[in-house]
Amino acid sequence: MTTRDRLLGLTVVLLWGLNFLALRVGLDHFPPFFFAALRFAVIALPVLLFVPRPKVRWRWILLYGTGFGILQFAFLFTAMRVGMPTGLASLVLQSSAPFTVLLGTLFLRERIQRWQLAGIAVAMFGMAVIGWDRLEHATLLPVLLTLAAGLGWALGNIGVKQATIESPGLNTLHMTLWIAVIPPLPMFALSAATEGPTTGLRALGDSFSGTGWPGLVALAYTAVLATCVGSGLWTYLMSRYPAGIVAPLTLLVPVVGMTAAWAFLSETPTPLSLVGGVIVIVGAFAATSTRRPRVIDPVSPAPEAEQTEPEPVRQLANA
């Protein structure tokens, strides 16, 4: 992975790590399924009106949108609503990294090098250290729900990776935006069936009150910065590198998430958690390092110095 792309990956890590604060605030104001639907609904309408559909088969858009948009957030929001601590949620959700590597090996026939496996193993050991230290603060059900969210995220990663394999010239920004079209209707229906047909609407109305505005700020952050910018950069990285190279970057998200939870929510990390965080950083760095840069470019293997800035990055920078 090139230095520039690793920095883009770290930007995603920062956006997604801080996103757990926004999710906690949002879930204090909205029911979980309604909040998940609302997160994508505010993006879906302008996407349908102004963004061309990416030239890929619908099955990959559906897989990406279902895994990343529906399964991940339905399980994650429910877990956080029933007691999953914010910092611990940011940790356990990164189970998506080994899930993605496993699914990439099974379905995409990607080869995993021994040094990658070693880096992932080190990072997973760091997660286990943190999890062992923090698990006593959460019951088993929220942890299992968050693991299911990580598997959903991994399925979404496979969908976007398969789309970029079949369509080398894919506009990854358009692909990222179009996944927002998939979750709203199923999630609104699930919300009406389980949370009540008017519960979410009342919560939305209350968010425009003098005390409800933090819910709107949280919605804006998670929709624009976490979804459009963060997921756009993530899709771009997934289109250029094997899933086994990109996925371990998510192991850094809990370091940011737990630090933010400590700073703003008074979830104080223990010394053992801090040690585990350092181990995660070391392992993730090793898993995403390459002996020589290998950029997937089916058109021409131009040297790094001659590569122009990819169109999705320019679009995000000009947004």
> If you average pLDDT over residues 41-59, what whole number do you get?
91
Tokens 């000009």 sit on residue: 318
Separation of alpha carbons 114 and 125, rounded Å: 16
Tens digits of residue pLDDT in 240-267 = 887 667 877 877 888 898 888 888 888 8
CA distance 23 to 259: 15
The encoded tokens of residue 13 equal: 């890590």
Domain total in the chain: 1
- CA 208 to CA 219: how far, in whole Å? 12
Number of other residues whose CB lies within 10 A of the CB of residue 282:
14
Taking the C-alpha atoms of 135, 136, 142 and 147 in order, what is their torsion angle to the nearest 10 degrees?
10
Max Cα-Cα span within the chain: 57
Query: How far apart are alpha carbons 7 and 5 in whole angstroms?
Result: 5
Q: Rounded mean pLDDT of the chain?
A: 82
- pTM across the whole model: 0.76
Amino acid at position 56, single letter: V
Q: How many CB atoms lie within 10 A of CB 179?
A: 30
Integer angstrom CA distances of residue 126 from 19, 59, 93, 192: 22, 36, 14, 40
Closest CA to 74 of 26, 139, 146, 159: 146
Give the separation between CA 2 and CA 4, rounded to whole angstroms: 5
**pLDDT bracket for residue 137 (50, 70, 90):** low
Residue 221's Cβ-side half-sphere holds a number of Cα atoms within 13 Å equal to 19
The dihedral sign for the CA sequence 203, 207, 210, 213: positive
HSE of 318, CA atoms in CB hemisphere, 13 A: 8
pLDDT tens digits along 62-103 = 999 999 999 999 999 999 988 888 888 888 887 887 788 778
What is the Cα Rg of the chain in Å? 19
pLDDT at 289: 63
pLDDT at 232 over 90: no
Residue 127 CA to residue 259 CA, distance in Å, equals 14
Q: Is the pLDDT of residue 314 over 50?
A: no
205-209's contacts with Cβ under 8 Å and 24+ in sequence apart are 206/29, 207/29, 207/30
- Read off the pLDDT of each residue in 206-229 and give the average, rounded to a whole number: 90
Boundaries of domain holding 228: 3-318
Task: Round to whole Å and give the CA distance between 27 and 106.
Answer: 35
* Structural tokens at position 51: 């963004």
Cite the DSSP H helix spans in 167-298.
172-178, 184-194, 199-206, 213-220, 231-240, 243-246, 253-265, 271-287
Does residue 292 have a pLDDT over 80?
no
Contacts of 139 (CB under 8 A, 6+ apart): 83
